[in-house]
Amino acid sequence: MRRFACTLIVALTTFALLLVPAMADEKLSASEIHALLDGRTALGNWRGTDTRQYFATSGSTTYLEKGGIPDVGRWRVDKAKNQYCSWWERGGWSCYDVETDGAAYYWVSPGSAYRSPFTMTDGRQMDF
């Protein structure tokens, strides 16, 4: 009887988990993106290298890979598309969706599989 009860509990728990949808990533709105980035620093990792990117209220942004040289560009939020956009001398403007799963944030390149996780910290934090 005890074995039957345990088997029934496992089966019902498994069935219940199948009914609950997985938590989907949520795309941030333009105002949420602005509030997330403005005056703060993103901490990430690009191809195995730690990165930092500071988003100044003035619209300038500074990107730094650990052991590298800072690169200065511009940033803005595209309100119509709810995207973060950055401008770099070598590449011009690029725009990305910003998503969260509740634990981390992700830069998402629309139309591709590019997803890069990051966390945020207050102020300008460019030291590694």
CATH fold for domain 24-122 = Lipocalin (2.40.128)
Neighbours of 37 (CB within 10 A): 23
Give me the pLDDT at residue 12, please: 33
Using the predicted structure, report yes or no on whether residue 23 has a pLDDT greater than 80.
Answer: no
pLDDT in tens, 62-81: 999 999 999 999 999 999 99
Contact 59, 74 (CB under 8 A): yes
Q: What is the CA radius of gyration of the chain?
A: 20
Place of tokens 């105002």: 31
Question: Measuring CA to CA, how many Å separate 102 from each of 20, 42, 62, 78, 107?
Answer: 17, 16, 26, 23, 14
Eight-state DSSP code of residue 102: S
- Across the range 10-15, mean pLDDT stands at 35
pLDDT-based confidence at 114, cuts 50/70/90? confident
Question: What is the dihedral angle through the alpha carbons of 24, 30, 112, 63, rounded to the nearest 10 degrees?
Answer: -110
